[in-house]
Amino acid sequence: MPTSSSVQAAREAFGTRLREIRREAGLTGTELARRAGRHQTKVSKLEHAITLPDADDLRAWCVHCDVADQYPELLAKLIATETMWTDWRRLERAGLRQANEAVVPLWERTRHFRIYSSWLVPGPLQAEPYIRALLASTQARRGLVDDIDEATAVRVAKQHVIREGDHRFAIVLEESVLRTRIGGVGVLAEQLRHLLDVMALPSVSLGIIPMDADRSLLRPVEMFFMFDDDQVSAEFVSGWLRVTAPGEIAMYAHTFGLLAELAVHGERARRLVNEALTSLR
């Protein structure tokens, strides 16, 4: 598991809830372990978030604490806690095509996307050569199977959501994204021209935070995607964090609002893109 405070907090909260259930049932850890056929240390490890229970552990806990009716809700919370963190290695084990296909249903059902990026143009706005350059770098760096052509095709295909249906995209980039040379000068130039095109789409609202903006209130943060008000995905070096707790989603929504206020939009944003494009000539 990562050292993410969000992940650890969720694990600890789940352990605390198990301890509350045991105490409310009037059972000691030793007695619960005896009834459930577990070692007493297993009960302690579960309550102190050293390990998470499996479905059988959780069912036994609920049955012997006489709260079997709470099992479905607790199982749902357990699954959410277990799936908060995904290692890139696990996600990409079968290749980049499959990893990209896995998120297509989420893209299809989301109506309101809020995306912030401090280091690259995010997926919905990527040009095909830029996509290919990113995937080739990932494939080489992580020693994955070479399915770059197939993965690129999946990424390009799922971009139909910015042109079809009632999907809306609010995207905020740091100005430095426009000057980060992923794929080299030619690829970046094509990406910037593509960005000027998609900025004109009615479904897209693009804000760019100038490099000379006053960041006293809020520094650049991790790249994150908000899918409606249901889920946030944040990307890190070793994997990605899936946030579903309403309180944490609200924090990301508030942060996105602050970032959007720092950004320029419309013609001022187009001017920054054009300046970055001119600097490549």
Identify whether the C-beta of residue 222 lies closer than 8 Å to the C-beta of residue 233: no
Contact 113, 168 (CB under 8 A): yes
| 95 Rama class: left (phi>0) / alpha (psi -120 to 50) / beta | left
pLDDT on residue 1: 36
CA distances from 147 to 58, 138, 154, 158 (A): 40, 11, 11, 17
Supply the pLDDT for residue 248: 84
Say if residues 100 and 74 touch (Cβ distance below 8 Å): no
More reliable by pLDDT, 69 or 9: 69
> For the domain bounded by 86-278, which CATH number is listed?
3.30.870.10
Based on its alpha-carbon atoms, the radius of gyration of the chain, rounded to whole angstroms, reads: 23
Superfamily of domain 5-82: lambda repressor-like DNA-binding domains (1.10.260.40)
Amino acid 8: pLDDT: 78
Q: Sketch the domain layout of the chain as residue ranges.
A: 5-82, 86-278
Q: Determine the angle formed by the axes of helices 29-36 and 55-64, rounding to 10 degrees.
A: 110
Extract the tokens encoding 72.
Answer: 């479905």
pTM above 0.85, yes or no: no
What are the distances in angstroms from CA 195 to CA 34, 192, 240? 63, 5, 25
**Residues ≥6 apart with Cβ < 8 Å to 232:** 224, 225, 226, 241, 242, 243, 244, 248, 249, 252
**Helix-helix angle 5-24:55-64, to 10 degrees:** 30
Question: What percent of the chain stands above pLDDT 70?
Answer: 97
pLDDT tens digits, 1-27: 344 566 777 788 889 999 999 999 999
Give the model confidence (pLDDT) of 164-185 as tens digits. Answer: 999 999 999 999 999 999 999 9
Residue 110 and residue 108: Cα distance in Å, rounded? 6
Max avg pLDDT among 50-64, 139-153, 197-211, 239-253: 197-211
Average per-residue pLDDT for the chain = 91
